[in-house]
Structure 1
Amino acid sequence: MRWPNQPPASFAFVMATGIVSAALLDAGLTGFSRALLWIATVALVVLVAGLLGRLMVHGRDAVADFRNPHKGFGYLTVVAGMNVVGIGFHPVAPAVTWVLAALSIPLWIFLAYGVPLSMMLRTEIGEGPRMRLLPVDGTWFLWVVSSQSLSVAAASLATDAGAVSLMSDAAVAFWGVGIMLYLTLTTLVMLRLLTGGESLGGIVPTNWIFMGATAITVLAGSMILHLPADVPVIHLAGPTIGGLSYLLWAFGLWWVPFLVAFGLWRHVVRREPLRYVTALWSIVFPLGMFAVATYRFGRENQMPLVAVLGQWATWVAAAAWVAVAVAMVAAFLAWLRRRQAVRN
């Protein structure tokens, strides 16, 4: 429960809450949607303040996490969290979307280049051993998620007057970066899993980000396709984006049974205890993103069965959010009781 132990993972709560808010808005539950959006907003402010405090007080630990292959990419949750919250405010306060997107871009540039470069240069100068197989895991897909969150933000802002052409270009550019990273990382992750590289046995919660990266790519694609067709970049890239988005949606759906099967194997067959950890929000976020992406992709492309599947997925995501939130509160209360017992 100490902040210094899991700084980036905590932002997964912001991402999960923000995207479930969007899913509930699509379902017509405006009141619940706004409540979750404000919860995500407050959490974002608190966590950013806490992260800044950690950087000042525990700077050495933060640098070590930054250069750790299993933790470094986790800092990109800050970028994704900012844009998920910003996009939620776009219908009522687009200025918030603009500000959060503008703040997230330099952070994305620093992290998207800095994290992989720190690992490459560390190996080159002999600070760490050369590995035959990179220790890639689900957190690496935050590289994709953060890039596509910028694409979604740009596509949202492209609907504002005077920003259509510039923001459309940015949306397609970030979408292209994200999809190339996705295809590359998918190869590495599948190779690692098929060769027994998952050291914890089966797929851990953060590997659900694999599916979340697929879903946010589809969401970004559907929003780009909804932009005016006479914008040059949409006319040029539209058919490619539409086709690849549908293929990735199908692949993301195909991936879900594997994630569920590995989870059952870990907790039913191997009987590993299922208890609250911050990483559980890394399951809720992909479920919510899949619901939003599926519903909006089906709606925008006149595919009613896909849209209905997205509506069903919304209730799964909402139920998952409630379950993990209850577990989080219970874990916090248990921690308070233990702390009180120690004091007594």
Structure 2
Amino acid sequence: MTARNLPPSAFAPVMATGIVSQGLAVVGARRLSDALLTVAVVLYSGLLAGLVWRVLRYPGEVAADLRNPGRLFGFFTFVAGSDVLAVRLAPGPERAAASALPALAVPVAVLLLGCGALMARRLGAGGMVRRADGTWFLCVVGIQSAVLATAALAPGRARPAEALGWVAGVLLYTAVATVVACRLVRFGIRPRELSPPYWITMGACAISLLAGARLVHQGLDTPQLRAVIRVVLIALWGWATCLLPPLLAAGIWRHLLHRVPLGYEPSWWTIVFPTGMYAVSTAALGETEGVHRLVLLGHLTVWVALGAWLLVAAGLVRARWRHRSPRANSSQTSGQEM
């Protein structure tokens, strides 16, 4: 992969690694958490350099991606990856670096939301229904990750801007879910189209839950508002939990019944992130509501997320190794012929 063909969704591994690191920190596995944090920082640094080079060197291609409904929302992985790292770094000595990450990500999020609004106007309702897919939920993840980063860097009382951002994210989730559901009902979906990014449906719900739980934990101005948000949080957790069986069933339908190959693809990271986010948000809701069973469920799910991360990382290493092996063999063959 070169900077020129760096996909918009390239920061998905950073999102996944960052939230699993956060989950491990929550359960007290500090060394594992720090190890994954190091991996996330290295990944982020390399990908950021590649993204900046691509924007400067190939602005026309980046602009084309921003107009493409199938690629635009992938850029929100940069926003979410930056903010998830900021949340993880905020409690430690790297607070200055953590503060710089949302400063990079929030303006990009505003730009992307503007591009999304222009795209919606250009496509119209019918065009949006035809083109919608699971990656569209990344815009919700981007908004709610900014709320989380702001709350982590200013851990006093929740501010109105954070509450408004959270509400906007929840409303946007509802809108995107409606469009995606209309697409599935009206046009159906083929096995190859039912790709891992549909898990972001659950991940966007889980991060909305986590952001809301953080706001409740930090305290809001009125008890009435806190009560309303708590009802919404329970509904979000219920919806995220209800999504798990159909998402797992979709994987069985895709790979076992229709025999779509189960090889590594970068989109597998979009399963790791929702799993980790579900774990952390469930534990946070349990702490907010004083429900120990939810805290325990969240802690157990962290280890499931770590297992998923290890599987996808192993798949990545194996895919890279198999990709390089033919090159090495061909080089040896040509050397012997010479």
Fold match, TM over 0.5? Answer: yes
Residue equivalent to 1:117: 118
- Aligned ranges for residues 170-185 of structure 1 at < 5 Å? 170-185=161-176
> What is the CA distance between 1:70 and its match in structure 2?
1.4
Please state whether the residue corresponding to 1:131 is helix, strand or coil: helix
2:182 to 191, 209, 212: 191
Residue equivalent to 2:28: 28
2:219 to 228, 233, 244: 228
1:131 to 127, 136, 139: 127
Residue equivalent to 1:214: 205
| Paired residues of 1:69 and 1:119 also in contact (CA < 8 A) | no
Over 3 Å counting, the alpha-carbon distance change for 1:266 and 1:195 in structure 2 is same
Q: Show structure 1 runs of 5+ residues with no match.
A: none
Aligned counterparts of 2:126 and 2:144: Cα–Cα separation in 1: 31
> What is the CA distance between 1:245 and its match in structure 2?
1.2
Over 3 Å counting, the alpha-carbon distance change for 1:335 and 1:31 in structure 2 is same
TM-score w.r.t. the length of structure 1 is 0.90
AA of the residue aligned to 1:81:
G
What do you get for the CA RMSD once the two structures are aligned?
A: 2.0
Deviations 1:89-139 (A, max 9, x none): 011132222211122111111111123314534x58xxxx96373311111
Say how many residue pairs are matched.
331
Aligned counterparts of 1:307 and 1:189: Cα–Cα separation in 2: 31
> What is the CA distance between 1:54 and its match in structure 2?
1.8
Deviations 1:280-333 (A, max 9, x none): 000000000000000111122101121121112111100000000011011111
| Paired residues of 1:141 and 1:182 also in contact (CA < 8 A) | yes
Residue 98 of structure 2 is aligned to residue 107 of structure 1: no
> What is the CA distance between 1:71 and its match in structure 2?
1.0
Residue equivalent to 2:196: 205
| Paired residues of 2:24 and 2:30 also in contact (CA < 8 A) | yes
Aligned counterparts of 1:53 and 1:118: Cα–Cα separation in 2: 25
Please state whether the residue corresponding to 2:159 is helix, strand or coil: helix
Deviations 1:198-222 (A, max 9, x none): 3555631011011000000000011
Aligned counterparts of 2:162 and 2:49: Cα–Cα separation in 1: 29
AA of the residue aligned to 2:232:
L
Residue 262 of structure 2 is aligned to residue 262 of structure 1: no
Over 3 Å counting, the alpha-carbon distance change for 1:202 and 1:104 in structure 2 is closer
| Paired residues of 1:219 and 1:292 also in contact (CA < 8 A) | yes
Please state whether the residue corresponding to 1:214 is helix, strand or coil: helix
Residue equivalent to 1:76: 76
Residue 139 of structure 2 is aligned to residue 143 of structure 1: yes
Please state whether the residue corresponding to 2:129 is helix, strand or coil: coil
Q: Show structure 2 runs of 5+ residues with no match.
A: none
Residue equivalent to 2:51: 51
Deviates more, 1:234-243 or 1:86-95: 234-243
AA of the residue aligned to 1:156:
A
Over 3 Å counting, the alpha-carbon distance change for 1:268 and 1:6 in structure 2 is farther
> What is the CA distance between 1:263 and its match in structure 2?
0.5
Deviations 1:4-60 (A, max 9, x none): 445222200000000000111111100110111111111111101111222233333
Aligned counterparts of 2:191 and 2:78: Cα–Cα separation in 1: 26
